[in-house]
Every structure is written in C-alpha cells, then in structure tokens.
Homo-oligomer: A and B are copies of this chain.
Amino acid sequence: MARRSDHTREEIKAMAIAVGRNLIQENGLPGFSARKVALGIGYTVGTLYNVFENHDDIVLHINAVTLEDLLAYMEKRLGDDDQESHASDLDVLKGLAACYIDYARENYNCWSALFEHNLSPEAPLPVWYGERIDALFGFIEARLKPVVGKDEAEARQTARVLWASIHGICALTLTNKLTLVGVETVEGLTDSLIENYVAGLKSR
C-alpha cells in the first residue's frame, strides 16, 4: 500500500483518471468501477472518495480527457492547413464529419462512454466540463466561417445544427440503432446531410 505523501492529491487524481480511462477503453463503461481504479493506483477506495466526490465525478473527469483527446485528434488531422488549401467548403465539412466518425470508430468505448453517462438533467454540469465542450465547438465554428456569413449568432447556430446532426448519424449507426442496407454508409449519410444543408444555406 502506498504511504501517505507518496503522491500529492493532484497526482492521485491524474493516476485515477488514467487508470479509469484505460478500464473504459478496454471494456467499456460497464467495465469501469471505482474499486478497480483504486486497485490500479495502489490506494484503497476510501482514498479515491477523498479525492473525488463520487462515481459520477470520476467518470466526468475521464470523459473530459476524452473530449480533449478528440479535439487534439481533429486539430492534428485537420490542422489549419486546408484553410489556405484549395479544398471546397463542402470538402472541409465532409472532412470534419469523416474525422469525427473515424475517432468514434477508433476509440469506440471511450467515445460511447461520453453518451452512455448522463447526469440527472437538473444537476448542473461542472463548469470545467462545459469548457471542454465549448473548446470543441470553437474549433468547429472556426472551420464553418467560410460557409456561414460572419454573423456571430448564425455561425453559432449553424455549427450546432451541423455538429449535432453529424453526431446523431454517427451515434445511431455505430450503436446499431440505424440499420444501413445496400450501398448506404455512415459517410454517405453525412455527405447527404452536408451537401443538402449547405445548398439550402446558400440558396437563401
């Protein structure tokens, strides 16, 4: 057993988040438990509850890391370069969608934990968690600039509509809640969404 002062409070927190994220990665959210985390970091559950509020608090911290990881993944793959490239507006958006779908596929368990875990709707979302979500939308909104005007409010709304729609298609498909037949693919669906939604925007 670890002796006191072996690690700071922050170190224990970081170790727990890393071990917990690993558990989810390997076996999904149902494979996660505070007791397994405690075992994995060499402390007892009591210590874990000294550092975290409760079960939800740990999962929220793990999901926040996944959100950061997703943003880093998108920044790395989409970078700033096609800002100056010759990619069309449509291709930029399709690339964004494809990137999200790839991340969800490659990190299925961590990605699905993002949505299998919900606080009761009255419970306030911690501000630090909301900031991770906002950071993601900031990135998306920036790439939408060429498509929407520079009307702030409209860019915000358009980014949210497109992103939520892409997520909906991705989520229902990957979780087998939307059976695809014949030539249908996730990318085919998101392409249809983007092509027609953007055509609609531009025709106004």
Give A contacts to B, CB under 8 Å: 28, 108, 112, 114-121, 125, 130, 133-134, 153, 156-158, 160-161, 163-169, 171-184, 188-189, 192-193, 195-201, 203-204
Contacts and interface: CB of A to CB of B under 8 A. Distances in A.
A153 B181 CA distance: 9
A164 to B, nearest CB: 4
Contact of A165 (B121, B130, B164): B164
B28 A120 contact: yes
A134 B119 CA distance: 30
Contacts of A180: 160
A201 B193 contact: no
B164 A182 contact: no
Contact of A153 (B115, B163, B164, B182): B182
Contact of A193 (B134, B167, B176, B197): B197
Contacts of A174: 121
Contacts of A118: 112, 116, 175
B169 A161 contact: yes
A-B residue pairs, 4 tightest by C-beta: A168-B168, A196-B200, A165-B165, A199-B200
